[in-house]
Structure 1
Amino acid sequence: MVITKGGTYTGNWESRDSEIPAVEVRTSEPVTIINSTIRGAGYLIKSWGHDANITIKHTSGYGLTPTPWSGYIKSRRFLTIDHFRNVVVENCNLNNTAGIYIGENYTGNGTPANSIKIRYNKAYNIDGRTYNGIDIVQFVQFNYKGEVPAVEIAWNQVINEPDKSAVEDNINIFNSRGTPDSPMRIHNNYIQGAYPYPANSNSYSGGGILTDSPGTDSARVTAFVMIHDNQLVGLGNHCIGIAGGNNIEVCNNRAVVAASFQDSTPFPFWTSGIWARDYYKGKLTYGNSIHHNQLAVLGRDRTWRNDVGDSTQFVASVYDNEHLPDKVTINLEAREFTLWQQKLKLAGIKLGPQNQ
């Protein structure tokens, strides 16, 4: 399906060839995809070079078996966009896809009407496996130039299973910014599971939520981000990390990690709660805070707690975090999902497509 004019589209589209997107949007006019089912061996929805204004609602996406690719890896992104004015993804299901990528350039008018909203979605097994390889993928990856107001990644449920997924950071904010008076808000998400592939690998560089910012361009560095009221459960490597960026606030999150698989086999890779460091030594990581989070995170050998990293003192103020007194077990992790369901009910929020 190739869309060349604005409008509202509903349908069932599929591509079993990784080289061919299931849906391609080639217009800057407003496009809405709603009440649809999309399957793809490569990109499910693609819009490159068209200053996209795309809304996707009540739609299910399924990753199919990857096929050979040429030129560059074409993972099974539910949505891939490079130049954009406005992007909305709400009440969708993502099943065995490679998540959502939004970059490289914001061309909107700097108002809340030209922003990014990723809300009320369900994602299962974010999977970067391609034909004869693995791509670095996320539930959400931002990598755009420009300050974007009123950005939200909120009320999403992301669940990854070992050996059925291949995810880097579930949410990665890379050289992308909110605004001083309208910070990017990453809030009230439930993220469970982050593993290498295969899951018994000794090393892993992914995790939960990461702000990332190499380089020395102060106008491009990640900035003005609020990460709050999320639940991070059973994650390998990190729950929330500030690897670069400034004016980032991490507060009121819950992180529970028993550092073991469901059969109680210990994770062979690193585990940590929340930390901050100037990872790239660009001297642009400052003015951050980590406070009022609730944590119960076991270190890799499961004999010590690794709730908040020591390095946070150098690039973030750290205060009033609560180290949960509970014994950290798989059962404690399971309780988090019950709390999440209660939270959704109290807020009156329904996830995923409501008309399928």
Structure 2
Amino acid sequence: MLGYFIWQQNTTPPASASFQLQYEGPIVITKGGTYTGNWESKDAEVSAVEIKTSEPVIILNSNIRGAGRLIRSQGYAADIQVYNTYGYGITPTPWKEYKKPRNFLVVDVFRNIVVEHCYIENAAGINLGVSYEGNGSPQETVKIRYNKVRNIDGRVHDGWAIVNFVGLNFRNPIRHAEIAWNQVINEPDESVVEDNINIYNTRGLPDSPIRIHNNYIQGAFPLPSSESNYTGGGILSDSPGTDSTQATAHLEIYRNQLVGLGGYCIGIAGGNNIKVYNNRMVVAARHSNDSLYTFWTSGVWAKDYYQTKSTYANTMHHNTIAVVGKTGTWRNDIVDDSIIAANLFSNTVLADQVTKSMEKKEFEHWENKLRQNKIKIGPLASMKQKH
């Protein structure tokens, strides 16, 4: 596993930088090893990088862009690690049989997935589905950390698909999984994202919950942003699993910042043994031109949405919440019936008038937190494997 790096200053290029590079065509990787390159696919049906091996594959210091999937693996119990790599969505092309959103990484069967210090723009995010086949060690898990994202975009040719920054939907419980220190900023009418982070019938373990912490997530909107119907939002535990062996379970969601989101900030639509604490949520429910959001907004909510009786033992506490309802005339910090599906206590609802200025201060708070913790996000000027 690629575990140690030497790096210099943080750097993120403008969007146009991806078009100044010389790109090669798609690549198919059939052997393990470390790969560096600039790859693209202008066809939604062809992944820019297709990985067809269960041997460990490291993608390092690369640039990838695509009209469909950027990096994909299907059916290989994959071990894929992606570091210091830029990923861009380009104009989608027609698809066959089913939609092919421009995921930065999509994998169905895997042992180990690491995505760190990457930059994603105008693309869908990371989707892990079907089955975790790892051994439960720290070397075979999921780590999605230190990434910088601009505009998660589910648009496909002649429509759009439901996409997330991170979507987990796989069988078998996992240890040591972590989604942390990511910055995700979505702009109205430039993005279309459902839940920024969705955990769907996916389980940690009592002694090793899935940890979602210290992420900054700003913006979640329908397309166009003037639409009134929108079901997306921030971080969601989603679980139509019919019994306790299938339902989402053992998550810890803490110290995240949720800013300017449509839909909701943090929700439990199903699942058990979920802890939501020490998060900050600030939503003025206004666009930059001061016009009101036309879609639902809320802070935290919990509900046995699927009525499977697998939603229990959940807590939401010590969160700081300042969320305006969509009409701009009322607050919707904690959805009223949430006490039924979660134990809510010691949450702080700010009495201040919620403004766009408060949202901007949250970003300043985020930058200060990065400095205080000496965390660098996004690609780094130099990153090398330490032998």
Aligned partner of 1:91 among 117, 126, 131: 117
Letter in 2 for 1:188: N
2:21 counterpart residue number: none
Tell me the secondary structure at the aligned position of residue 163 of structure 2: coil
SS of corresponding position for 2:173? coil
Q: For 2:113, what is the secondary structure of its paired residue? A: strand
TM-score normalised by structure 2 residue count: 0.91
Contact 1:254 1:295 in 2 (8 A): yes
From 18, 27, 46, the counterpart of 2:44? 18
Aligned to 1:255: 281
* CA–CA separation in structure 1 for the residues paired with 2:353 and 2:359: 11
CA deviation profile, 1:14-61 (whole Å, cap 9, x unmatched): 001101000000000000000000010000000000000000000000
CA distance in 2, matches of 1:355, 1:265: 39
- Asked if residue 79 in structure 1 is aligned to residue 116 in structure 2, the reply is no
CA RMSD across the alignment:
0.7
Cα deviation digits, residues 117-176 of structure 1 (max 9, x gap): 000000100000000011000000000001000110000000000000000000000000
1:152 aligns with 2:185: no
Q: Show the counterpart of 1:320.
A: 346
Structure 1 residue aligned with 2:357: 331
C-alpha contact (below 8 Å) 1:25/1:46 kept by paired residues: yes
**What letter is aligned with 2:143?**
K
What residue is the counterpart of 2:128 in the other structure?
A: 102
Instruction: Give the TM-score, by structure 1 length.
Output: 0.99
Q: Write out aligned runs for 1:1-356 (5 A).
A: 1-355=27-381
Q: 3-state DSSP class of the match of 1:95?
A: strand
Shift of 1:304: 1.4
SS at match of 1:268: coil
Are the equivalent residues in 2 in contact too, given 1:35–1:355 (CA < 8 A)? no
| Greater length-normalized contact order (CA 8 Å, ≥ 6 residues apart) | 2
How many percent of aligned residue pairs carry the same amino acid? 59
Q: How many residues align?
A: 356
Out of 211-220 and 96-105, give the one that drifted further: 211-220
Structure 1: tracts of 5 or more residues without a match? none
Q: Secondary structure of 1:101's partner? A: strand
- Which deviates further from its counterpart, 144-153 or 215-224? 215-224
Q: Deviations over 1:81-131 (max 9, x none)?
A: 000000000000001111110011011112222100000000100000000
8 Å contact from structure 1 (residues 259, 266) kept in 2? yes
Q: Which consecutive unaligned segments of at least 5 residues does structure 2 have?
A: 1-26, 383-387
Task: Write the deviation string for residues 61-87 of structure 1: whole angstroms up to 9, x where unpaired.
Answer: 000000001011001000000000000
